Amino acid sequence: MEKEKKECLNNLFIWRDNVYAHNDMKYFFDKGQLPKDAALTMKHIDELIEKAWGIVNFYSLALEGKAWHPDSPDTLDVEKIFSILKNFKDEKNREIDVLLMGAGLKRTQ
């Protein structure tokens, strides 16, 4: 299993070095060659991310006594929706207050 992860990591370095850091002519002119030379799938990337989290947590637990967990994108979405709704409500309340003041009235709670 570790050998497979090392191979995935090496393939990731090939992608980085020959495409993202600079355009290697071999891959620039033949876009189909890179996946043949350095196969990299989403499964491989997920495995590398899990391995990286394991390493981070190993040292974090040893040095700080706590583990880190990746955030779920869903939790950020829910927080963002609540924030948007709260801002909308606050803005509407300000508009109502302005209208009431213009009519010489006060808001009753």
Token pair of 43 as six digits: 């499964």
| pTM of the entire predicted model | 0.51
Q: Which residues of the chain have pLDDT under 70?
A: 1, 70-76, 109
DSSP one-letter string for 19-39: IISS--HHHHH-TTHHHHHS-
Alpha carbon distances (Å) from 109 to 5, 15, 45, 58, 74: 62, 62, 54, 53, 35
Token pair of 36 as six digits: 């043949």
**What local confidence, expressed as pLDDT, does residue 31 receive?**
82
Instruction: Compute CA 102 distance to the chain's CA centroid, rounded to the nearest angstrom.
Output: 47
**What local confidence, expressed as pLDDT, does residue 72 receive?**
59
Nearest to 39 by CA among 16, 20, 14: 14
**What local confidence, expressed as pLDDT, does residue 71 receive?**
62
**What local confidence, expressed as pLDDT, does residue 1 receive?**
59
Nearest to 40 by CA among 3, 7, 81: 7
